[in-house]
Amino acid sequence: MQKHILIVEDEPAIRDMVAFALRKAGMQAIHAADVRAAQTAIAERVPDLILLDWMLPGTSGIEFARRLRREELTRDTPVIMLTARGEEADRVNGLDAGVDDYVVKPFSARELIARIRAVLRRTHGEDSDGVIEVAGLRIDSAAHRVHAADQIIPIGPTEYRLLHFFMTHPDRVYSRSQLLDHVWGGGVYVEERTVDVHIRRLRVILAPHGLDGYVQTVRGAGYRFSAST
Determine the CATH number of domain 4-124: 3.40.50.2300
Specify which of 127-131, 154-158, 225-229 reaches the highest per-range mean pLDDT: 154-158
Q: Which of 10-14, 24-28, 125-129, 203-207 has the lowest mean pLDDT?
A: 125-129
Task: Examine residue 12 and say whether the peptide bond preceding it is cis (omega within 30 degrees of 0).
Answer: no
State how far Cα 113 lies from the chain centre: 15
Look at residue 128 in the predicted model and tell me its pLDDT: 55
pLDDT tens-digit series, residues 20-43: 999 999 899 999 999 999 999 998
Q: What is the side-by-side strand order in the sheet with 4-8?
A: 28-32, 4-8, 49-53, 79-83, 101-104
Query: Is residue 47 scored above 60 in pLDDT?
Result: yes
Domain ranges of the chain: 4-124, 131-225
Give Rg (Cα) of the chain.
Answer: 18
In the three-class reduction of DSSP (H, G, I as helix; E, B as strand; rest coil), residue 131 is classed as: strand
More confident residue, 93 or 169: 169
- Residue-wise DSSP of 190-209: --THHHHHHHHHHHHHHGGG
4-124 and 131-225 share one fold: no
Q: Which CATH code, of 1.10.3720.10, 3.40.50.2300, 1.10.10.10, 1.10.260.40, is assigned to 131-225?
A: 1.10.10.10
Long-range CB contacts (within 8 A, 24+) of 173-181? 173/218, 173/221, 173/222, 173/223, 173/224, 174/222, 174/223, 174/224, 175/221, 175/222, 176/222, 176/223, 178/72, 178/73, 178/222, 179/222, 179/223, 181/46, 181/73
